[in-house]
Amino acid sequence: MTVSSRCICTAIDAKALARIIEGHADGATYIDSHPWIVARELLVDATAAEQRLPLVFATGNPIAFSHWAFVATIEVRELHHGSWESHCEIGVLKPVNPIWESIGSIVLAPSAEQLHRERVEPVHIHRQMLNEQHIWPYAVCETPAFIADHPP
């Protein structure tokens, strides 16, 4: 399997990340109160294309990327009207190389229209760097080279 051109980036509490790292050597479940509907769609698309979808965690103050893993499943549950819970099963967490820890080292995924325009028109490639406002509850980004080059 290859790696998807898209990844999910999210912020996580340092204590929650430590619990995942210490308690689950083979993988873990990340739970969020936001409905990860688009993330689940990305996972479905990646799986259909025989690709793996990465999830990159940021933590700390100032916020910085810390670890990443491949997503196994995403289940979105509506607990009651307006209240959600997303369960994201992930594989083994891997540390992010220090040169990629900056939140601005990963770019937001461009729209399909922007990618099409870059292919058919003589326009400059434009990418927007991720920042703290984009990462809550999660951001859809281009998969960075340190993951894209990683054997799945």
Instruction: State how beta strands 139-142 and 6-11 pair.
Output: antiparallel
What pLDDT does 91 receive? 92
What pLDDT does 78 receive? 85
**Rounded average pLDDT over 33-42:** 96
The values of phi and psi at residue 22, to 5°, are -75, -35
Each residue's pLDDT tens digit, 43-97: 999 999 999 999 999 999 999 999 999 999 999 998 888 889 999 999 989 999 9
pTM across the whole model: 0.89
- Looking at per-residue confidence, does 121 or 67 come out higher? 67
Q: Is the pLDDT of residue 152 over 60?
A: no
Annotate 43-60 with b (16+ C-beta within 10 A) or e (fewer): beebbeeebbbbbbbbbe
